[in-house]
Structure 1
Amino acid sequence: MAAGAGPERWLFWHRRDLRLADNLGLAAAAAATPAVTGVFVLDPGILEAPDLAPARLWFLAESLRELAESWRGAGSRLLVLRGDPVVLLPRLAAALQAPVLAWNRDVEPYGRERDRRVAAALQASGRRVLVDWDQLLIPPEALRTGQGDPYRVYGPFWRNWRGQVAAKAGLGSAMAGGLEPVAAPSGLRDLGEQALEALERSGAGPLPLVQPDPATGLHLPHDFSGTDLCPCRPGEAAALEQLQSFCDGGPLLAYEPGRNLPGEAGTSGLSAALKFGTLSPRQAWAAAQQARALVRSTEAEQSITVWEQELAWREFYQQALFHFPELAEGPYRPQWKRFPWENDEGHFAAWREGLTGVPIVDAAMRQLNASGWMHNRCRMIVASFLVKDLICDWRWGERAFMARLVDGDLAANNGGWQWSASSGMDPKPLRIFNPATQAAKFDPEAIYIRTWLPELRHVSSADLISGAIAPLERRGYPEQIVEHKLQQARFKALYAALPR
């Protein structure tokens, strides 16, 4: 079909929604016209960032390869371009004579400014944009306190959020404002030969297309070697399979306390799927509700509620970043801007490489370095250790996590680090984790520690938990670089001296 012939051709711009099923922006475009073409832009502003993790490049490339196959199966195609979306998307729309570009909204400061500029460029050429929320169950504008302010505390946010979720659930399909996932579009109409030729003779020269190879995917260079160790699996099909395994008689029903035990497979492994949008939050919510309808024990019901609360935490951090974009640059609590961090680079390097001499901390950091992922309980332990024991600026840890995490998400990562550092939106201003106490409670048999510190597998569980390992048993493993009790007292004194 030639450009301009037949039904109007719309474009759908993928970003954090690398799937066809339950994609609200795509569903709206497909409802308007069967002539829809998908677009993804390899944006140098993101792909050349210094904290872009190799694991995320792997996850992105594999997910895009599958997404391209899904578009072909639906009857159309995914166009992948490399360059500045502010420049390329108006050029693409002009080349294909597309009157509308649709996408789903983002909460991050960079993405919001980029989207504003893309919309302005398109509208300047007489084209329209179609945007709405997809990555959240409840839009951030809809969540306000009784005084009309954004929420700063999770507890009241959860109660309002949960009430609005219950109200939306009664509305049926997500396309009608409810929460029931919508099906993937099918029977779409592809570009014709003349339209493809138009891409080659675009006004400023051929558009920089980078098409995924069906067998090898996109060639995004990275040195990530932990694909077999990473619990997060790329692509829409894998995300749905993991969701089903988690919810259908799986770890969901024992999520509390299983989510806190890093030595067990008690979590969903879906954090990267939700970050990249190979899974929608509505699909996650619907699966949890289906599981709830079948359970017969209060323990299982409570476990499902706890997982729902984790989904709400994700949205709490997303709406916080939306309303307070300055969180991306520094602490929420102003006194923390004056904290006298010691920032010992040797200590930080030991922490980053898993060589602090504290087994639970080192096991967690080595899991991150090898697999691109870390158990959430351990994220809290190592964050507290970096900030409260090593007295390093939490932003060092935030950047280190983003440089290695497969599920690295600005809102969630920033929110978690500010929670651990006591600099964020938290009614409890000072929280310090004792790593030995945490290990004793959540890894009592040292299963997790032995998994990631194989050189210490011969050491007793009690010594692995306490870190009091005899010199002859260390076999090259370092001694503890700091003593927790002394550092805890030092940190508290520094905190107490902060001007209020």
Structure 2
Amino acid sequence: MSDLILFWHRRDLRILDNLGLTAATEQTTKVVGLFCLDPNILDRDDVAPARVTYMIGCLQELQESYQNLGSQLIIIQGEPEKAIPQLAQALKAKAVYWNRDVEPYSKNRDRNVTATLNEKGIEISTVWDQLLHAPGEILTKSSDSPYKVYTPFWRSWIGQDKQSVTPEIKQLAGLNKTELETASQVGAIALPTAKELGYEWEYPLLLAPGETSAKEKLEEFCDRTIYSYDEERNFPYVDGTSQLSAALKFGVIGIRTVWQATVDLAENCRSDEAKNGVVTWQKELAWREFYQHCLFFFPELAEGAYRDEFKDFPWENDKTKFQAWCEGKTGYPIVDAAMRQLNESGWMHNRCRMIVASFLTKDLIIDWRWGEKYFMQKLFDGDLSANNGGWQWSASSGMDPKPLRIFNPASQTAKFDQDGDYIRQWLPEISSMDTEYLVTGKIPELERASYDYPQPIVDHKVQQRKFKELYKQQKN
């Protein structure tokens, strides 16, 4: 048995501020990174080509980071419970370290990997890294149980001390030539491209892959955007968000690094507006954690509704209407623009995510899980807990003290795209149409025909009444 520790990367594709990796380096300098291309994840039917492309780019930079430290990042492909113990045993590793995850599949996978490693006499060590507060740290005072509503969760979460950024890792020792040959013999491979894995993405990514780009984006956001975040985050045509969602999903930036940046900013704000911007973004980070805590304690959320009235809701599930929604051909400009943004960029502004989700569930009366899956098939920042939480919030099926919420596309456009700038950006074929038509959606017949823009596939007022009646019946 050597003093080698394998560090298994999953949602932490970085060197800096990595709690599990730091813990490994405290035991030995001979730490080698490991990433497993898991067919149980990559072969699913809800994998976005943009997300795989981003992930591979992050792994490329991570390999370079390990090389710069004097070590390696080994890539393997296969069932983790078989491939990881096989590699660890072949290399005579004394331990495998990793950071824990909240998702149902990940929890079950990790139990299986742990059992197999234990059978082979190989130590394991795991910690929480992707959250500022691990599941179980934020519980209700009355019953010592998980929070099911965000606001009291936030009050408790913000009041507790957060962990500090971990020290920088200066140097590591890697595998020697013989050990590298052994690794190749038991499954180590060259990092494949996304195309070689069967995924092609032809558009630019909103955020360049890797730890360096994520750090630069955080600095850019903190330098100018965050101070007006409270107001500008709602306008989809304004570059008013952090655009760090993919970096946080894959952990190419540490959550403690992000949090410390907000603390430093809050201490130096010169106006209430600036302070509000910082605090509002902190609340968004807390939303991220709230949804992860919910998924950890209520794994059934990944499969269906939390609220009983939605567990057998009479969804209409019209496939033709669903396809129109997917393609951005509903006849509602704000909805179509948002779906076009998703399809062509692998990302959608959060305000628009709420609008299109409400439209799918409340106007088209289509099961929210159809939309949730489509988002995961497209989003480069697709994350189970955040995506599921957002969809259940919009569908009124999840943990929400105000369960029946219906967005009116026209009023949402009037509030957040009043000049039609966002619509014009993503629907260039109707960009010369009068602003009033774009905002209200009340486009004259001749105008629609001349622009070859589709008729509305439903009447919002009619569908609103219909959905409310269905909901009333379900509650009775």
C-alpha separation in 2, matches of 1:101 and 1:161: 31
The correspondence for 1:199, drawn from 162, 173, 183, is 183
Q: What corresponds to 2:98 in structure 1?
A: 103
Asked if 1:86 corresponds to 2:62, the answer is: no
The correspondence for 2:190, drawn from 198, 211, 219, is 211
SS at match of 1:39: strand
SS at match of 1:264: coil
SS at match of 2:241: coil
Residues 436-468 of structure 1: per-residue CA shift (max 9 Å, x gap) = 000000111111000000011111111101111
C-alpha separation in 1, matches of 2:41 and 2:445: 46
Paired residues for 1:62-211 under 5 Å: 62-146=57-141, 147-164=143-160, 167-168=161-162, 178=163, 180-200=164-184, 206-211=185-190
The correspondence for 2:458, drawn from 482, 490, 493, is 482
SS at match of 1:101: strand
Asked if 1:445 corresponds to 2:419, the answer is: yes
Cα offset, 1:360, TM superposition? 0.2
Q: For 1:150, give the aligned amino acid.
A: P
C-alpha separation in 1, matches of 2:441 and 2:86: 60
C-alpha contact (below 8 Å) 1:61/1:220 kept by paired residues: no
Which runs of 5 or more residues in structure 1 are unaligned?
A: 169-177, 201-205
C-alpha separation in 1, matches of 2:441 and 2:32: 57
Q: What corresponds to 1:351 in structure 2?
A: 325
C-alpha contact (below 8 Å) 2:343/2:378 kept by paired residues: yes
SS at match of 2:101: coil
Q: What corresponds to 2:207 in structure 1?
A: 232
Asked if 1:288 corresponds to 2:265, the answer is: no
Residues 73-131 of structure 1: per-residue CA shift (max 9 Å, x gap) = 11100000011110011111111111110000000000000000001100111111110
Q: What corresponds to 1:173 in structure 2?
A: none
C-alpha contact (below 8 Å) 1:61/1:219 kept by paired residues: no
Q: What corresponds to 2:359 in structure 1?
A: 385
C-alpha contact (below 8 Å) 2:229/2:278 kept by paired residues: yes
Q: What corresponds to 1:366 in structure 2?
A: 340
Q: What corresponds to 1:45 in structure 2?
A: 40
Which runs of 5 or more residues in structure 2 are unaligned?
A: none
Q: For 1:189, give the aligned amino acid.
A: A
Asked if 1:466 corresponds to 2:440, the answer is: yes
Asked if 1:247 corresponds to 2:243, the answer is: no
C-alpha contact (below 8 Å) 2:149/2:399 kept by paired residues: yes
C-alpha separation in 2, matches of 1:329 and 1:456: 39
Q: What corresponds to 2:308 in structure 1?
A: 334
C-alpha separation in 2, matches of 1:418 and 1:108: 16
C-alpha contact (below 8 Å) 2:207/2:243 kept by paired residues: yes
C-alpha contact (below 8 Å) 2:87/2:187 kept by paired residues: no
- TM-score (ref. length: structure 2): 0.97
Q: Assess, with a 3 A threshold, how the Cα gap between structure 1 residues 437 and 217 changes in structure 2: closer, same or farther.
A: closer
Determine what percentage of the aligned residue pairs are the same residue.
53
Q: What corresponds to 2:19 in structure 1?
A: 24
Cα offset, 1:389, TM superposition? 0.3
Superposition RMSD in Å: 1.3
Cα offset, 1:210, TM superposition? 2.2
- TM-score (ref. length: structure 1): 0.93
Q: For 2:209, give the aligned amino acid.
A: P
Q: What corresponds to 2:473 in structure 1?
A: 497
Q: What corresponds to 2:200 in structure 1?
A: 223
C-alpha separation in 1, matches of 2:168 and 2:319: 50
SS at match of 1:141: coil
Cα offset, 1:31, TM superposition? 1.3
Q: For 1:352, give the aligned amino acid.
A: C
Q: What corresponds to 1:171 in structure 2?
A: none
SS at match of 1:279: coil
Cα offset, 1:198, TM superposition? 2.4
Paired residues for 1:413-424 under 5 Å: 413-424=387-398
C-alpha contact (below 8 Å) 2:233/2:241 kept by paired residues: yes
Q: What corresponds to 1:203 in structure 2?
A: none
Q: What corresponds to 1:175 in structure 2?
A: none
Aligned length, in residue pairs = 473
Residues 361-390 of structure 1: per-residue CA shift (max 9 Å, x gap) = 000000000000000000000000000000
Cα offset, 1:217, TM superposition? 8.5
SS at match of 2:26: helix
C-alpha contact (below 8 Å) 1:459/1:469 kept by paired residues: no
Cα offset, 1:219, TM superposition? 4.0
